[in-house]
Structure 1
Amino acid sequence: MKKSLILMLALLPFVVTAQKSYTLYGKLSTLKVPAKAYLVTLQGNRFKETDSTVIKNGEFRFTGKVNEPQSAMIAVKTTAGKQADNLSFYLENSKITFTGKDSIRTAIVSGSVSDREDRELNAKIRPMTNKIMKIQREFSKDHGVAANKTLEERSAAQDSLNSYVAQIKNIRLRFVETHLNSYMGLSVFNTSILDSHFDSSLVKPLFDKFSPQLRSSPLGELAADRILANGKRAVGVKIFDFTQTDINGKPFEIKSLRGKYVFLDFWASWCYWCRKENPNVLKAYEELKNRNLEIVSISFDESRASWENAVKQDKLPWLQVSDLKGMNAKEGLAAKLDIKAIPQNLLISPEGVIIATNLRGEDLPAKLSALIK
């Protein structure tokens, strides 16, 4: 009996959010002017008004259902024509109340497990983010004293920033590890653990600890897909066969370069740091093009004109290919490899196996030379 009780308590956060519908009840006790309340939710990639109601005697109510918890907002607009008063929260299928005086912005939210956990996490992170913002303001070019900072002071500030960022990452990791039956735990896992440069072999064991219900949820399936796609570009994995179109409109198959070292460079014309890195790639090309090395730049542009102009401006003589689907298309190469940030690159052996990732900088020729036999 005791073990069963412990198991039920562990699963409680997920059970609470497993209700089939939500009821939102708001009470603004001193709001006397005519007003309406609006429920704003994320639809596709944009926030839109989902429902609205007239506030009577300071009270409003919404009912409905969501497939899984999501970021939402209550907006209150008065007939006086003032700007809407807003409050962001996490909407889930539960009974959620908003208690305030004459402003929804300062109302207290209760009843949403996801919202409570999100606020608790942000409260732990806030001291570090405040310190980060303070340093950034102090060293901003627009700040009056920034020009007087010494090199030592700037170096110390950067060390502090790195430390605060590391602390935030550790807090989020501990949150995930202690919320494996919680939607917010899975949400933070997706946004913080599955960052733009995660290692699938390191994060999968943690993902596998989430409850079966969460792993099979839409967000869980998204995480699983990202981990699977990321594994396709891990060191030691054979690069999967893919086809792109070169800048002359001809098909290019990666398997056509078997027997050679291949440096796959992912970039785009709009990517500032990609363009800054192109001179280093050009230098590597000029020094190593006779050492059984092929460079292939894969653009995540959506505009052919922008892509072609960037290739001409940066004077890139090696193979240029693209599916012109950008980074967000579900069927594009970026999605198939789970590439969320650029520049990135892969070095592939003559056997088609990935042997290094993200080699860059002024010493790129030396880094590549050391890996090419």
Structure 2
Amino acid sequence: MESKFLLIAALLTGTFSFAQNKTTQVTIEGSVPGVKSGYVYLQKFQEKLFSSVDSVLVKDGKFKLRSTVQLPEVYGLTLDNKKAPLFLFLQNTQAVKVVLDTAAYYKNSTVTGSEAQALFDKVKKTLDLKIEELIAANPSSIVSAYVLYRNFSYRLTPEQIRQNIDLLSPSLHSTQYVKTLEKLIVTMDKVSIGKPAINFTANDTQGKPVKLSDHFGKYLLIDFWAAWCGPCRKENPNLVAAYEKYKDKGFEVFGVSLDKSKENWLKAIDKDGLTWTQVSDLKYWASEPAGLYGVRAIPANFLLDPQGKIIGKNLRGEELHKKLEELLGSGSAEVKKSSK
């Protein structure tokens, strides 16, 4: 039985031709309903962040931008550099047309002239996405490499990431997405269960350097989170409950924030009642501790035994309570020593 992604490929008249990383001049012509003037910014995507690389003036609701870009690649279009842009997938094309709807983060915008964009739009509507099927149907598409990198890297084991990379056309192996995944495979192996935790130093809320290893000696949960992360804030009450229940039995939490605003970080700590040690380098997704642990999505956590060995990953909700009950549920205030 053919998968829905094979059907998608048929609708898009087959698999994309081999992509090549090359510099190409692309014309982006479009309209911005309801906007008479201003600027449209072309942004390049790099490590979960967009940065502007070109711009053009909007005249009477229309714009036309000619820019030299690196293909294949993911770009963004926006009228406001402080807000999320419209994702623009460019591959085997030299001209695209865009209707840039400013409502709801450009959700209702349309792009024509880009097969990669058409595939991405279909993928977004697929609820039960299977990455191996997407890649098998579109091995040379920048969309396949991007979705593997952005949506699946934090769900898969290093072995599964490797298997999916091998399904991609070699022409995509030089893209930033596959290069990042190659590095991630190495990092994930270093922080797999059974390995010693990687030590690091980061500043606490007072700007004082704190070492992770200074907190070894108890069962320690390294909690990666951020004030801007909705799922993190939703999980915080559960983490607070676990901390209150087990802190006198040998459990500690070490919070690592991926915030970029110290003010917002401190407000969230206070509002959510996070009374354990908190550190952050305020570098957002460029967070050095997050990079050391291969964190691609938050909330994320690593549970360490008293010797600093990783014994659990991404324990949330009831699962965290069950693990702590297993380790510390005897009622004793003494820390159980794990075997070396």
Compute the TM-score of the two structures, normalised by the length of structure 1.
0.60
C-alpha separation in 2, matches of 1:225 and 1:353: 22
Q: Which amino acid in the other structure matches residue 356 of structure 1?
A: G
Identity %: 25
Alignment of 1:332-351 (within 5 A): 332-351=288-307
Counterpart of 1:264 in structure 2 is 222
Which residue identity lines up with residue 322 of structure 1 in the other structure?
V
Deviation at 1:327, TM superposition (A): 2.6
SS at 1:351 equivalent: coil
Partner Cα distance (2:218, 2:198) in 1? 16
- 2:314 corresponds to 1:358: yes
For 1:306 and 1:298, the matched residues in 2 are separated by 14
| Residue 370 of structure 1: how far off its partner (Å) | 0.8
Equivalent of residue 322 in structure 1, options 269, 276, 279: 279
Cα distance in 1, alignment partners of residues 112 and 138 from structure 2? 23
**Cα distance per residue 1:301-337 (max 9 Å; x no partner):** 334444334434444333x121241432x35323333
Contact 1:25 1:62 in 2 (8 A): yes
Find the residue that maps to 2:17 and give its secondary structure: helix
Which of 128, 135, 143 is 1:184 aligned to?
Answer: 143
Q: Distance in 1 between matches of 2:312 and 2:205?
A: 26
One of 65, 70, 75 as aligned partner of 1:66: 70
Superimposed CA distance per residue, residues 37-65 of structure 1 (whole angstroms, 9 cap, x where no aligned partner)? x996324625665579x9xxxxx995745
Structure-2 residue corresponding to 1:21? 24
**Equivalent residue in structure 1 for 2:134, among 175, 178, 194:** 175
- Structure 1 Cα separation of the partners of residues 216 and 275 of structure 2: 21
Q: Which residue of 2 aligns with 1:311?
A: 269
Deviation at 1:263, TM superposition (A): 1.4
Residue 241 of structure 1, CA deviation = 1.2
Distance in 1 (CA, whole Å) between partners of 2:28 and 2:251 is 65
Contact preservation (8 Å) 1:264, 1:298 = yes
Q: Deviations over 1:79-119 (max 9, x none)?
A: xxxxxxxx986434655587xxxxxx99962xxxxx32442
Larger Rg computed on CA atoms: 1
Task: Name the aligned partner's letter for residue 42 of structure 2.
Answer: T
Checking the alignment, whether the CA contact within 8 Å between 1:303 and 1:324 is kept in structure 2 is no
Read off the aligned partner of 1:66 and give its amino acid letter: Q
Contact 1:247–1:321 (Cα < 8 Å) also in 2: yes
Letter in 2 for 1:348: L
- Whole-angstrom CA distance in 2 between matches of 1:107 and 1:308: 41
SS in 2 for 1:297: strand
Following the alignment from structure 2 to structure 1, what is the Cα–Cα distance between the partners of residues 195 and 213? 14
Deviations 1:232-289 (A, max 9, x none): 4433332211112233443222223344321112233344443443333333223322
RCO comparison, higher one (Cα < 8 Å, 6+): 2
1:327/1:335 contact within 8 Å kept: no
Query: Is 2:240 the counterpart of 1:282?
Result: yes
State the alpha-carbon separation in 1 of the partners of residues 26 and 237 from structure 2: 58
The alignment partner of 2:253 has SS state of strand
> Residues of 2 paired with 1:125 and 1:303: CA distance?
30
Q: Partner letter of residue 14 of structure 1?
A: F
2:42: which partner in 1?
41
Work out whether residues 23 and 62 of structure 1, in 8 Å CA contact, stay in contact via their aligned partners in 2: yes
Give the distance between the partners of 1:18 and 1:46, measured in 2 at CA. Answer: 19
**Residue identity in the other structure for 2:300:** Q
Instruction: State how far apart, in whole Å, the 2-side matches of 1:316 and 1:123 are.
Output: 41
Q: Structure 1 CA distance, aligned partners of 2:308 and 2:322?
A: 21
The answer to whether the 8 Å contact 2:140/2:172 transfers is yes
Aligned to 1:302: 260
Please state whether the residue corresponding to 2:297 is helix, strand or coil: coil
Deviation at 1:213, TM superposition (A): 4.1
Secondary structure of residue in 2 paired with 1:14: coil
Q: Distance in 1 between matches of 2:238 and 2:15?
A: 52
- Structure 1 spans left out of the alignment, 5+ residues: 1-9, 27-37, 55-59, 76-86, 99-104, 110-114, 129-164
Q: Answer whether contact 2:199 2:213 (CA < 8 A) is retained.
A: yes
Confirm or deny: 8 A CA contact 1:264 1:296 kept in the other structure: yes
Q: Distance in 2 between matches of 1:67 and 1:180?
A: 16
Computed over aligned residues only, the root mean square deviation of the Cα atoms, in angstroms, reads: 4.3
1:168-205 superposed Cα distances (whole Å, 9 cap, x missing partner): x12x431213333443321232233225x443342222
8 Å Cα contact 2:219/2:303 also seen in 1: yes
Whether contact under 8 Å (2:43, 2:76) holds in the other structure is yes
* Partner SS state of residue 70, structure 2: coil
For normalisation by structure 2, the TM-score amounts to: 0.65
Match in the other structure for 1:119: 118
Which amino acid letter does the alignment assign opposite residue 335 of structure 1? G
